[in-house]
Homo-oligomer: A and B are copies of this chain.
Amino acid sequence: MIFMAQRPLDVLNRALESSVLVGLKGGRELRGKLNGFDVHVNLVLEGAEDIQGGEAAKRYGTMVIRGDSVVFISPAE
């Protein structure tokens, strides 16, 4: 039924090893290198940083994020 479309998990797969912006429930945004994910959209970010007003406000290093808290993932361009 569906063709010529990008599947959401394929987009994440192509973003592996690249910088992504991750939006969480409640409005928080994190940036880091996407090192892995699974079908629940649980994510592994490396060099994760809290982004506030476009600036890195806090550094976390490696971070496992539960998919349940994720609103969006946007690969850097």
Q: Give residues in A with beta carbon < 8 Å to B.
A: 1-2, 4-13, 16-17, 21, 24-27, 35-38, 41-44, 48, 60-77
Contact = CB atoms under 8 A, between A and B. Distances in A.
Copies in the assembly, this chain: 7
A48 to B, nearest CB: 7
25 contacts: A1-B9, A1-B10, A1-B13, A2-B13, A2-B16, A4-B17, A6-B35, A7-B36, A7-B38, A8-B43, A8-B44, A9-B42, A10-B36, A11-B36, A11-B44, A21-B60, A25-B69, A26-B27, A41-B66, A64-B72, A65-B71, A65-B72, A66-B70, A66-B72, A69-B71
Q: What are the 10 closest A-B residue pairs judged by CB atoms, nearest first?
A: A6-B36, A5-B36, A8-B42, A61-B77, A69-B71, A63-B74, A60-B74, A64-B73, A6-B35, A65-B72
